[in-house]
Protein backbone atom coordinates (compact mmCIF):
# COMPACT_ATOMS: atom_id res chain seq x y z
CA UNK A 1 0.00 0.00 0.00
CA UNK A 2 1.16 3.50 -0.76
CA UNK A 3 0.58 4.78 2.77
CA UNK A 4 3.05 2.30 4.22
CA UNK A 5 5.68 3.48 1.75
CA UNK A 6 5.24 7.12 2.62
CA UNK A 7 5.01 7.96 6.30
CA UNK A 8 6.10 11.59 6.39
CA UNK A 9 2.72 12.84 5.20
CA UNK A 10 -0.74 12.21 6.57
CA UNK A 11 -3.31 10.12 4.75
CA UNK A 12 -5.24 13.29 3.89
CA UNK A 13 -2.16 14.74 2.17
CA UNK A 14 -1.71 11.64 0.04
CA UNK A 15 -5.35 11.53 -0.97
CA UNK A 16 -5.20 15.22 -1.87
CA UNK A 17 -2.03 14.63 -3.89
CA UNK A 18 -3.00 11.54 -5.83
CA UNK A 19 -6.64 12.24 -6.63
CA UNK A 20 -5.52 14.67 -9.36
CA UNK A 21 -4.49 12.82 -12.50
CA UNK A 22 -2.22 15.61 -13.78
CA UNK A 23 -0.09 15.50 -10.61
CA UNK A 24 0.31 11.74 -10.83
CA UNK A 25 1.35 12.10 -14.48
CA UNK A 26 3.91 14.77 -13.54
CA UNK A 27 5.44 12.56 -10.84
CA UNK A 28 5.56 9.58 -13.19
CA UNK A 29 7.03 11.61 -16.07
CA UNK A 30 9.79 13.10 -13.92
CA UNK A 31 10.50 9.75 -12.29
CA UNK A 32 10.71 7.97 -15.64
CA UNK A 33 13.04 10.62 -17.10
CA UNK A 34 15.19 11.07 -13.99
CA UNK A 35 15.43 14.77 -14.77
CA UNK A 36 13.51 16.84 -17.29
CA UNK A 37 13.13 20.48 -18.32
CA UNK A 38 9.87 22.38 -17.91
CA UNK A 39 9.41 22.65 -21.69
CA UNK A 40 9.95 18.94 -22.28
CA UNK A 41 7.65 18.09 -19.37
CA UNK A 42 4.92 20.36 -20.73
CA UNK A 43 5.21 18.91 -24.23
CA UNK A 44 5.29 15.36 -22.88
CA UNK A 45 2.12 15.84 -20.84
CA UNK A 46 0.43 18.07 -23.44
CA UNK A 47 -0.79 20.60 -20.87
CA UNK A 48 -0.59 24.38 -20.74
CA UNK A 49 2.34 26.20 -19.16
CA UNK A 50 0.05 27.69 -16.51
CA UNK A 51 -1.35 24.29 -15.55
CA UNK A 52 2.16 22.81 -15.41
CA UNK A 53 3.58 25.44 -13.05
CA UNK A 54 0.44 25.47 -10.90
CA UNK A 55 0.65 21.71 -10.34
CA UNK A 56 4.42 21.80 -9.84
CA UNK A 57 3.89 24.32 -7.04
CA UNK A 58 1.28 22.03 -5.50
CA UNK A 59 3.84 19.20 -5.63
CA UNK A 60 6.44 21.17 -3.73
CA UNK A 61 8.17 18.77 -1.35
CA UNK A 62 7.97 16.00 -3.94
CA UNK A 63 9.58 17.81 -6.89
CA UNK A 64 12.58 20.16 -6.94
CA UNK A 65 15.07 21.61 -9.45
CA UNK A 66 18.76 20.88 -9.92
CA UNK A 67 21.42 23.50 -10.69
CA UNK A 68 20.49 23.36 -14.40
CA UNK A 69 16.82 24.07 -13.53
CA UNK A 70 15.74 20.60 -14.60
CA UNK A 71 12.99 19.03 -12.51
CA UNK A 72 13.87 16.01 -10.38
CA UNK A 73 12.11 14.08 -7.62
CA UNK A 74 12.98 14.60 -3.96
CA UNK A 75 13.43 11.59 -1.69
CA UNK A 76 9.76 11.86 -0.74
CA UNK A 77 8.82 12.14 -4.40
CA UNK A 78 10.86 9.05 -5.25
CA UNK A 79 8.98 7.01 -2.67
CA UNK A 80 5.64 8.15 -4.10
CA UNK A 81 6.89 7.44 -7.64
CA UNK A 82 8.03 3.95 -6.68
CA UNK A 83 4.70 3.22 -5.00
CA UNK A 84 2.77 4.49 -8.03
CA UNK A 85 4.86 2.33 -10.38
CA UNK A 86 4.08 -0.64 -8.15
CA UNK A 87 0.37 0.19 -8.45
CA UNK A 88 0.16 1.39 -4.87
CA UNK A 89 -3.23 2.96 -4.11
CA UNK A 90 -5.02 4.80 -1.36
CA UNK A 91 -8.45 3.68 -2.46
CA UNK A 92 -9.98 2.74 -5.77
CA UNK A 93 -12.29 5.75 -5.84
CA UNK A 94 -9.51 8.26 -5.19
CA UNK A 95 -7.41 7.05 -8.09
CA UNK A 96 -10.16 6.55 -10.64
CA UNK A 97 -9.04 7.98 -13.96
CA UNK A 98 -11.28 10.85 -14.97
CA UNK A 99 -12.06 11.87 -18.51
CA UNK A 100 -9.88 14.63 -19.91
CA UNK A 101 -11.76 17.94 -19.88
CA UNK A 102 -13.47 19.06 -23.07
CA UNK A 103 -12.22 22.06 -25.03
CA UNK A 104 -15.17 24.09 -23.76
CA UNK A 105 -14.40 23.16 -20.15
CA UNK A 106 -10.75 24.05 -20.70
CA UNK A 107 -11.67 27.42 -22.19
CA UNK A 108 -14.06 28.22 -19.33
CA UNK A 109 -11.41 27.18 -16.81
CA UNK A 110 -8.89 29.54 -18.43
CA UNK A 111 -11.38 32.41 -18.14
CA UNK A 112 -12.76 31.81 -14.66
CA UNK A 113 -9.61 30.31 -13.12
CA UNK A 114 -6.72 32.10 -14.90
CA UNK A 115 -3.73 30.47 -13.18
CA UNK A 116 -1.90 30.79 -16.52
CA UNK A 117 -1.52 34.50 -15.79
CA UNK A 118 0.71 33.96 -12.75
CA UNK A 119 3.24 31.42 -14.04
CA UNK A 120 5.28 34.10 -15.90
CA UNK A 121 4.91 36.47 -12.94
CA UNK A 122 6.34 33.87 -10.57
CA UNK A 123 8.98 32.42 -12.87
CA UNK A 124 10.42 35.60 -14.43
CA UNK A 125 11.55 38.45 -12.18
CA UNK A 126 11.63 41.03 -14.99
CA UNK A 127 8.03 40.27 -15.93
CA UNK A 128 6.98 40.54 -12.28
CA UNK A 129 8.63 43.95 -11.85
CA UNK A 130 7.44 45.46 -15.14
CA UNK A 131 3.84 44.22 -15.10
CA UNK A 132 3.31 45.03 -11.41
CA UNK A 133 4.78 48.52 -11.89
CA UNK A 134 2.50 49.19 -14.87
CA UNK A 135 -0.55 48.04 -12.92
CA UNK A 136 0.47 50.30 -10.03
CA UNK A 137 0.92 53.33 -12.30
CA UNK A 138 -2.38 52.82 -14.15
CA UNK A 139 -4.33 52.20 -10.95
CA UNK A 140 -2.80 55.20 -9.16
CA UNK A 141 -3.54 57.51 -12.09
CA UNK A 142 -7.19 56.42 -12.23
CA UNK A 143 -7.66 56.77 -8.48
CA UNK A 144 -6.07 60.22 -8.38
CA UNK A 145 -8.10 61.48 -11.34
CA UNK A 146 -11.40 60.20 -9.96
CA UNK A 147 -10.58 61.05 -6.31
CA UNK A 148 -11.31 57.56 -5.07
CA UNK A 149 -9.57 55.23 -2.61
CA UNK A 150 -10.12 51.47 -2.48
CA UNK A 151 -10.74 49.59 0.75
CA UNK A 152 -10.74 45.90 -0.13
CA UNK A 153 -13.39 45.58 -2.91
CA UNK A 154 -15.15 48.93 -2.45
CA UNK A 155 -14.34 52.56 -3.24
CA UNK A 156 -14.74 55.74 -1.20
CA UNK A 157 -14.58 59.37 -2.45
CA UNK A 158 -11.84 61.53 -0.92
CA UNK A 159 -10.19 64.92 -1.31
CA UNK A 160 -7.93 65.29 -4.39
CA UNK A 161 -4.55 64.83 -2.70
CA UNK A 162 -2.33 62.47 -4.75
CA UNK A 163 0.03 61.19 -2.04
CA UNK A 164 -2.70 60.15 0.44
CA UNK A 165 -4.60 58.45 -2.39
CA UNK A 166 -1.51 56.47 -3.45
CA UNK A 167 -0.81 55.67 0.19
CA UNK A 168 -4.33 54.31 0.68
CA UNK A 169 -3.98 52.24 -2.48
CA UNK A 170 -0.75 50.64 -1.24
CA UNK A 171 -2.29 50.05 2.18
CA UNK A 172 -5.23 48.34 0.50
CA UNK A 173 -2.90 45.96 -1.35
CA UNK A 174 -1.16 45.24 1.96
CA UNK A 175 -4.54 44.67 3.64
CA UNK A 176 -5.62 42.20 0.96
CA UNK A 177 -2.25 40.46 1.30
CA UNK A 178 -2.65 40.10 5.07
CA UNK A 179 -6.28 39.00 4.92
CA UNK A 180 -5.74 36.49 2.12
CA UNK A 181 -2.73 35.01 3.91
CA UNK A 182 -4.37 34.68 7.32
CA UNK A 183 -7.66 33.37 5.91
CA UNK A 184 -5.82 30.90 3.66
CA UNK A 185 -3.89 29.53 6.64
CA UNK A 186 -7.06 29.20 8.72
CA UNK A 187 -9.18 27.64 5.97
CA UNK A 188 -6.44 25.19 5.00
CA UNK A 189 -6.76 23.72 8.51
CA UNK A 190 -2.98 23.37 8.68
CA UNK A 191 -2.87 24.82 12.21
CA UNK A 192 -5.15 22.11 13.52
CA UNK A 193 -3.32 19.14 12.03
CA UNK A 194 -0.89 17.80 14.60
CA UNK A 195 1.86 15.73 12.98
CA UNK A 196 4.23 14.51 15.62
CA UNK A 197 7.09 16.88 16.26
CA UNK A 198 6.36 19.09 13.24
CA UNK A 199 6.30 22.71 14.43
CA UNK A 200 3.63 25.30 13.71
CA UNK A 201 5.91 27.37 11.47
CA UNK A 202 6.80 24.33 9.35
CA UNK A 203 3.12 23.56 8.89
CA UNK A 204 2.29 27.18 8.03
CA UNK A 205 5.17 27.32 5.51
CA UNK A 206 3.30 24.79 3.37
CA UNK A 207 0.71 27.51 2.72
CA UNK A 208 2.60 30.80 3.26
CA UNK A 209 5.79 32.43 4.51
CA UNK A 210 8.06 29.73 3.12
CA UNK A 211 10.52 32.41 1.94
CA UNK A 212 10.80 36.18 1.55
CA UNK A 213 11.11 35.80 -2.22
CA UNK A 214 7.86 33.84 -2.47
CA UNK A 215 5.99 36.40 -0.37
CA UNK A 216 7.35 39.27 -2.46
CA UNK A 217 6.13 37.55 -5.64
CA UNK A 218 2.70 37.08 -4.11
CA UNK A 219 2.52 40.70 -2.94
CA UNK A 220 3.59 42.13 -6.31
CA UNK A 221 1.19 39.83 -8.14
CA UNK A 222 -1.66 41.35 -6.12
CA UNK A 223 -1.28 44.56 -8.15
CA UNK A 224 -2.16 42.48 -11.21
CA UNK A 225 -4.91 40.48 -9.51
CA UNK A 226 -6.88 43.54 -8.39
CA UNK A 227 -6.38 45.50 -11.62
CA UNK A 228 -9.90 44.54 -12.86
CA UNK A 229 -11.23 46.39 -9.81
CA UNK A 230 -10.04 49.56 -11.55
CA UNK A 231 -12.82 49.12 -14.12
CA UNK A 232 -14.92 51.24 -11.75
CA UNK A 233 -12.62 54.31 -11.58
CA UNK A 234 -11.88 53.82 -15.31
CA UNK A 235 -15.59 54.25 -16.10
CA UNK A 236 -15.75 57.29 -13.80
CA UNK A 237 -12.67 58.76 -15.51
CA UNK A 238 -14.01 58.17 -19.04
CA UNK A 239 -17.39 59.61 -18.08
CA UNK A 240 -15.75 62.71 -16.63
CA UNK A 241 -13.06 63.21 -19.29
CA UNK A 242 -15.24 62.73 -22.37
CA UNK A 243 -18.56 63.89 -20.86
CA UNK A 244 -20.20 60.61 -21.87
CA UNK A 245 -23.14 60.93 -19.51
CA UNK A 246 -22.96 57.23 -18.64
CA UNK A 247 -23.47 57.97 -14.96
CA UNK A 248 -26.22 60.49 -14.05
CA UNK A 249 -25.57 63.49 -11.86
CA UNK A 250 -25.13 62.77 -8.17
CA UNK A 251 -28.33 62.61 -6.07
CA UNK A 252 -30.49 61.95 -9.15
CA UNK A 253 -32.80 58.86 -9.12
CA UNK A 254 -30.59 56.49 -11.15
CA UNK A 255 -27.18 57.71 -9.96
CA UNK A 256 -26.60 55.10 -7.26
CA UNK A 257 -28.18 52.30 -9.32
CA UNK A 258 -25.92 52.81 -12.34
CA UNK A 259 -22.82 53.60 -10.28
CA UNK A 260 -23.25 50.46 -8.18
CA UNK A 261 -23.84 48.40 -11.33
CA UNK A 262 -20.39 49.37 -12.64
CA UNK A 263 -18.90 48.66 -9.21
CA UNK A 264 -20.42 45.17 -9.21
CA UNK A 265 -18.99 44.51 -12.69
CA UNK A 266 -15.53 45.49 -11.44
CA UNK A 267 -15.85 43.34 -8.32
CA UNK A 268 -17.07 40.28 -10.24
CA UNK A 269 -14.24 40.68 -12.76
CA UNK A 270 -11.71 40.75 -9.92
CA UNK A 271 -12.91 37.59 -8.15
CA UNK A 272 -11.45 35.00 -10.58
CA UNK A 273 -8.10 36.79 -10.83
CA UNK A 274 -7.68 37.00 -7.06
CA UNK A 275 -8.88 33.41 -6.66
CA UNK A 276 -6.34 32.16 -9.21
CA UNK A 277 -3.52 34.05 -7.48
CA UNK A 278 -4.43 32.66 -4.06
CA UNK A 279 -4.61 29.15 -5.51
CA UNK A 280 -1.27 29.57 -7.30
CA UNK A 281 0.61 31.48 -4.63
CA UNK A 282 -0.76 29.64 -1.59
CA UNK A 283 -0.74 26.18 -3.21
CA UNK A 284 -4.47 25.66 -2.68
CA UNK A 285 -7.22 24.06 -4.73
CA UNK A 286 -9.41 26.37 -6.79
CA UNK A 287 -12.42 25.71 -4.57
CA UNK A 288 -10.56 26.55 -1.36
CA UNK A 289 -9.01 29.65 -2.91
CA UNK A 290 -12.47 30.79 -4.05
CA UNK A 291 -13.70 30.45 -0.48
CA UNK A 292 -10.83 32.67 0.73
CA UNK A 293 -11.72 35.29 -1.89
CA UNK A 294 -15.40 35.24 -0.95
CA UNK A 295 -14.55 35.73 2.74
CA UNK A 296 -12.49 38.81 1.81
CA UNK A 297 -15.38 40.11 -0.30
CA UNK A 298 -17.78 39.55 2.61
CA UNK A 299 -15.48 41.49 4.96
CA UNK A 300 -15.31 44.30 2.38
CA UNK A 301 -19.10 44.43 2.13
CA UNK A 302 -19.51 44.54 5.91
CA UNK A 303 -16.99 47.40 6.20
CA UNK A 304 -18.76 49.27 3.39
CA UNK A 305 -22.19 48.89 5.02
CA UNK A 306 -20.87 49.98 8.41
CA UNK A 307 -19.31 53.08 6.85
CA UNK A 308 -22.63 53.86 5.11
CA UNK A 309 -24.51 53.57 8.42
CA UNK A 310 -21.93 55.75 10.12
CA UNK A 311 -22.25 58.39 7.40
CA UNK A 312 -26.07 58.29 7.52
CA UNK A 313 -26.15 58.91 11.25
CA UNK A 314 -23.26 61.38 11.18
CA UNK A 315 -21.21 59.33 13.62
Q: Is 242 helix (H, G, I), strand (E, B) or coil?
A: coil
pLDDT digit string, tens, across residues 83-98 = 787 764 444 343 434 4
Q: What percent of the chain has pLDDT over 90?
A: 50
For the chain, the structural domain boundaries read: 2-87, 112-312
Q: How far apart are CA 2 and CA 59, in angstroms?
A: 17
Q: Which CATH class is domain 2-87?
A: mainly alpha
Name the band, by pLDDT with cuts 50, 70 and 90, for residue 190: confident
Q: Burial code of 68-82, b = ≥16 C-beta within 10 A, e = fewer? A: eebbbbeeebebbbe
Indicate whether 194 pLDDT > 80.
no
- pTM higher than 0.95 for the full model? no
Residues with Cβ < 8 Å from 205, sequence gap 6 or more? none
Angle between helices 231-241 and 255-281 (to 10 degrees): 140
- How high is the pLDDT of residue 179? 97
Q: How far apart are CA 80 and CA 129, in angstroms?
A: 37
Amino acid sequence: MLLTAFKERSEDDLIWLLRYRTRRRILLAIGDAGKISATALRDNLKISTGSLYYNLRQLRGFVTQDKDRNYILTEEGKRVYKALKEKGTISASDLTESRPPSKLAGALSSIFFPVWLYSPLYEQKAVTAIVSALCFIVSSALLIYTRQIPILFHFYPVHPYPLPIIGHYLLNVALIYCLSTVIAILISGILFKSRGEEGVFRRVSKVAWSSVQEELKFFLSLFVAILPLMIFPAVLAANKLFALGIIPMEKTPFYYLIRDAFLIVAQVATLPFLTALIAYGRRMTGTTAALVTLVIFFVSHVVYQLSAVRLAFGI
